[in-house]
Amino acid sequence: MGRKVLVLAEVKDGNLRNVSYEAIAAAKTVSEGGEVVGVLLGESVRNLAEGLIHYGADRVVVVENDKLSNYSSDGFSQAFIAVVNEEDPEAIIFGHTSLGKDLSPKVASKQDAGLISDVIDVEVAGDNVVFTRPIYSGKAFEKKIVTDGIIFATVRPNNIAPLDKDESRSGDVSTLEVEIKDLRTIIKEVVRKASEGVDLSEAKVVVAGGRGVKSADGFKPLQELADVLGGAVGASRGACDAGFCDYSLQIGQTGKVVTPDLYIACGISGAIQHLAGMSNSKVIVAINKDPEANIFKVADYGIVGDLFEVVPLLTEEFKKLKVNA
Amino acid sequence: MNIFVLLKRTFDTEEKITIANGSINEDGAEFIINPYDEYAVEEAIQVRDEHGGEVTVVTVGGEDAEKQLRTALAMGADKAVLINVEDDLEVCDQYTTAKIIAEYLKDKEPDLVIAGNVAIDNGTGQVGPRVADLLGIPYITTITDLKIDGNHVSVVRDVEGDEEKIEATLPLLVTAQQGLNEPRYPSLPGIMKAKKKPLEELELDDLDIDEEDVEAKTKTIEVYLPPKREAGKILEGELKDQVQELVSLLHKEAKVV
């Protein structure tokens, strides 16, 4: 049969985000041999279209407008819905990112459509496209289908493998002119606070600290370890509540849910609410002074010891590994 | 100021999840106000105390949600509305819930609607933005600060750890992110007063809603628990040796670095 699937590509600091490639891979499955159309929205983004095609998009539609220089739900929804009206797709895939979470419900509402958010897997079973998603922050999972109207889903970063990059692929890149009006929310300023480079939800390695880090300064050795591994730093609710770090770093049922390849829990006891946010990580390492700590029950590898001794040694050891690699 | 809070009753975060007969087992579980909705209730009370007006807490659910609404009233909300769909709807998705809430709100002329940015059970974060769209008002999600001056609103929005400073005007819908405020505990006099505050119960008929008009667009076909994680290997020996062994295991056995 074959479906036409629109994928909203996401741009950060002038580059495509990884989740956009993952969304293309999901769209490929949903399309069942139909067409995957990348959608690029922004002030000046046309140069990124090729990247989408290299990762599996069949063609790309670009909407450029100075009113799209910053994300706003009003601006981006007008632009995206103009593309939907032009293309009349059977399915839509977004990344489940800050932008995707904000924009997708509005687009779904405008289309009078259902929406399956935060998907970690997609498969085709008979006539149905079946999406798997965590519920209760990963304490359980559900499989869901759309029963009426357009198929619309957002995919969680880091869970669906992107297709292999193929620079020999080519495809059509077209432009759609859209008049954007009535922006009712205006961004006055963006303050960069997140750690440089690696986003917590997309990081392959997460080094997380709990109450055991004792202070804001206590996070320094964790950051050094994360830097060596190209990862990001996270925290438990205990560490955030104690004021050691910003709530944006919190991992757990309240806070972020992360699924990195490697999760290193430092001085985290392992409350149920924290485990919900990280126990679906591929490999878990626990470092804690208390051998009875709950975190050891979910860890693949554990070291019973003081994180302030263990973490710097670990950083040194990884440095050696990188040098020898 | 006419303020509405969208509230959901959820499992306590410390509850373990079990499955019975193909769905989540609710027997004996503790329920709470969705933690993000608690920030919404607190913020609504603070805005009312500063600017005057009234806070109405709205939920869509069953009879049992009265307890969470009473808690919100005990915190300081003025009125509560329970839209009881227990007898009318077997399946509800975010499309359904948003349509019902929007139908209720459409003639209430809200100045400010506050919701949690996500519920910790289904975790979609759809209902707030959907309601705003259906009401034709703008929305800002995951806010960590809210200031209102007349008709003018300044908001700080959390975007994956960065902050956007955004300006808008009322009417507006915002969704609360952690860090917005410190929700108060209900005081004893608050709990006593809450018993006498108005709690209105409505059904779809009262809102002139046909079940077909709000029929879910999505369906859950299976619910399952993740494979239980087995406790792994606790390393032993001199600390330096343990660290070396760990790095070697991660590199050679787990192959993650």
What ipTM was reported for this prediction?
0.94
Nearest CB to B167; choose among A128, A188, A253: A188
Residue B28, burial from CB neighbour count under 10 angstroms (0-12, 13-18, 19+): exposed
Q: Average pLDDT for residues A154-174, to the nearest whole number?
A: 96
**Nearest-neighbour CA in chain B from A260: distance (Å):** 10
The nearest alpha carbon in chain A to B224 belongs to A141
Nearest CB to B123; choose among A102, A137, A283: A137
Q: Where in chain B is the domain with CATH 3.40.50.620?
A: 2-214
- The reply to whether A270 sits in an annotated binding site is yes
Taking only residues 38 to 67 of chain A, the set having a beta carbon closer than 8 angstroms to any beta carbon of chain B reads none
Residues of chain B by 3-state class (helix, strand, coil), percent to 5: 30, 30, 40
Instruction: Give tens-digit pLDDT for B150-166.
Output: 999 999 999 988 899 99
Q: Considering chain A, what percentage of its residues have pLDDT values greater than 90?
A: 90
A126 touches B at CB < 8 Å: no
Residue A48 vs residues A160, A161, A175, A201: alpha-carbon distances, Å: 21, 20, 13, 23
Domains present along chain A, CATH in parentheses = 5-175 (3.40.50.620), 200-324 (3.40.50.1220)
Q: Average pLDDT for residues B103-127, to the nearest whole number?
A: 97
pLDDT at A199: 81
Contact A248 B225 (CB under 8 A): no
**Nearest-neighbour CA in chain B from A177: distance (Å):** 24
Q: Which CATH number fits domain B2-214: 3.40.640.10, 3.90.1150.10, 3.40.50.620, 3.40.630.70?
A: 3.40.50.620
pLDDT at A133: 97
pLDDT at A1: 65
- CA B247 to chain CA centroid, Å, is 41
Q: Average pLDDT for residues A288-308, to the nearest whole number?
A: 96
Amino acid identity of B200?
E
Q: How confident is the model at residue A195 (pLDDT cuts 50, 70, 90)?
A: low
Query: CB under 8 Å to A32, separation ≥6 — which residues?
Result: A1, A2, A3, A124
Instruction: Judge whether residue A196 has pLDDT over 70.
Output: no
Contact assessment for residue A255 and residue B178, using Cβ atoms and an 8 Å cutoff: yes
> What are the tokens at A266?
């430092």
Q: Average pLDDT for residues B49-76, to the nearest whole number?
A: 98
- The reply to whether A29 sits in an annotated binding site is no
Query: CB under 8 Å to A65, separation ≥6 — which residues?
Result: A43, A75, A79, A178, A180
A-chain residues near B94 (CB < 8 A): 105, 114-115
Distance, in Å, from the CA atom of B185 to the CA atom of B76, rounded to the nearest integer, reads: 10
Query: CB under 8 Å to B228, separation ≥6 — which residues?
Result: none
Contact B232 A302 (CB under 8 A): yes
Instruction: Judge whether residue B173 has pLDDT over 70.
Output: yes
- The reply to whether A288 sits in an annotated binding site is yes
What is the overall mean pLDDT for chain A?
95
Taking only residues 259 to 278 of chain A, the set having a beta carbon closer than 8 angstroms to any beta carbon of chain B reads 261-262, 271-273, 276
Instruction: Give tens-digit pLDDT for B202-215.
Output: 999 999 999 999 99
A-chain residues near B14 (CB < 8 A): 271-273
Distance, in Å, from the CA atom of A252 to the CA atom of A277, rounded to the nearest integer, reads: 4
Nearest CB to B218; choose among A138, A144, A205: A144
B-chain residues near A279 (CB < 8 A): 226, 229
Contact assessment for residue B113 and residue B4, using Cβ atoms and an 8 Å cutoff: yes
Nearest CB to B217; choose among A148, A191, A309: A148
Nearest CB to A317; choose among B121, B144, B247: B247
Instruction: Give tens-digit pLDDT for A60-85.
Output: 999 999 999 999 999 999 999 999 99
Distance, in Å, from the CA atom of A88 to the CA atom of B241, rounded to the nearest integer, reads: 61
- The reply to whether A254 sits in an annotated binding site is yes
Instruction: Judge whether residue A197 has pLDDT over 70.
Output: no
Adjacent-strand bridge partners of B165: A189, B156
Instruction: Give tens-digit pLDDT for B116-154.
Output: 999 999 999 999 999 999 999 999 999 999 999 999 999
B-chain residues near A197 (CB < 8 A): none
Q: What is the number of alpha carbons within 13 Å of residue A96 lying toward its C-beta?
A: 28
Instruction: Judge whether residue B195 has pLDDT over 90.
Output: yes
Got the DSSP string for A21-85? HHHHHHHHHHHTTSEEEEEEEESS-GGGHHHHHHTT-SEEEEEE-GGGSS--HHHHHHHHHHHHH
